[in-house]
Amino acid sequence: MTDPDTARPDVVSLAPSATATLDAIGASDRLLGATTHCDVDVPAVGGWLTPDYDRLAELDPDLVCTSDALQREIRDELDGRGYRVHHVEPATLSDVLDTFIAVGEAVGRPEAGETLRADAEARLDAVAERVAGKPRPVVYCEEWSDPPMAAGNWVPDAVVAAGGRYPFVEPGERSREVDAERVVDANPEYAILHICGRGERVDPGVVGERAWAVDPEVHVVDDSLLNQPSPRLVDGIERLAEILH
């Protein structure tokens, strides 16, 4: 393996969020490889939860990026194989913003990470100003449909930042299965479908087909806008604000 103390390390990203963040701070030129789920033109190194360790060894990176509790075993495997690993587990919107700085520091571009966070905060402040004083509708966000899963982690924060209310999961808690009674009691005015791995390829009629005595306005958004803890999440909050207000 090459020198792990290289100021500008060559990187393999095993997390789409890390790939998007590296691109946003101008460090995509350091990418040797990424997962098949990443939107970048570099060699594929397997899937998010199924990395190709042989291909990784061939690429010989200085740094490997992972993210989320679901990649802890991968992180540990990489540690055991002698790789330098940058691993993050953001749970809230604030955590996501912190990762921008952390990724920048990991790849020798701390100022770019700080600038990215500052820009994100400015955009969020602008959204807050636009929605201030307006009624806050109840919003149901679904990240999986079979069974229906109410989105957790940073999504509750995202809804609030966009000017809505989200009584389904507390910020920072994992997504959870939701039943009809919970949804009916909350009586959401909006349902946002952002199904993992589906992009915008989702039938909005799925909500109306259920025996739920609610009639929300249904919108489909690209799953990366809400499911990915990267700069895409700020895009998602701006999109939510447009929908709600």
Domain range annotation of the chain:
11-124, 133-244
Tell me the pLDDT tens digit for each residue of 2-58.
444 446 799 999 999 999 999 999 999 999 999 999 989 999 999 999 999 999 999
pLDDT at 239 over 60: yes
Torsion sign, CA atoms 171, 175, 178, 184: positive
Same fold: 11-124 with 133-244:
yes
Burial class (CB in 10 A: 0-12, 13-18, 19+), 71: buried
Topology of the domain comprising 133-244: Rossmann fold (3.40.50)
pLDDT of 1 > 50? The answer is: no
- In this structure, what is the dihedral angle of CA atoms 70, 66, 225, 116, given to the nearest 10 degrees? 140
Q: Compute the mean pLDDT over every residue in the chain, rounded to the nearest whole number.
A: 94
Confidence of residue 77 (pLDDT cuts 50, 70, 90): very high
pLDDT at 132 exceeding the cut of 70: yes
CA distance readout (Å), 242 to 12, 131, 205, 217: 35, 10, 21, 13
Distance CA 245, CA 231 (A): 22
pLDDT at 197: 85
How confident is the model at residue 54, as a pLDDT? 97
Closest CA to 226 of 170, 175, 179: 175
Question: Using CB atoms within 10 A of its CB, is residue 232 exposed (0-12), middle (13-18) or buried (19+)?
Answer: buried
pLDDT at 5 (0 to 100): 42
Q: Which of 194, 192, 168, 162 is nearest to 181 (CA)?
A: 168
**More confident position, 85 or 204:** 85
Share of the chain above pLDDT 90, in %: 88
Q: Which CATH superfamily is domain 11-124 in?
A: Nitrogenase molybdenum iron protein domain (3.40.50.1980)
Tell me: the pLDDT tens digits for 164-218?
Answer: 999 999 999 999 999 999 999 999 999 999 999 888 888 999 898 888 999 999 9
- Residue 7: its pLDDT value, please? 63
SS3 label, residue 70: helix
CB 91 within 8 A of CB 153: yes
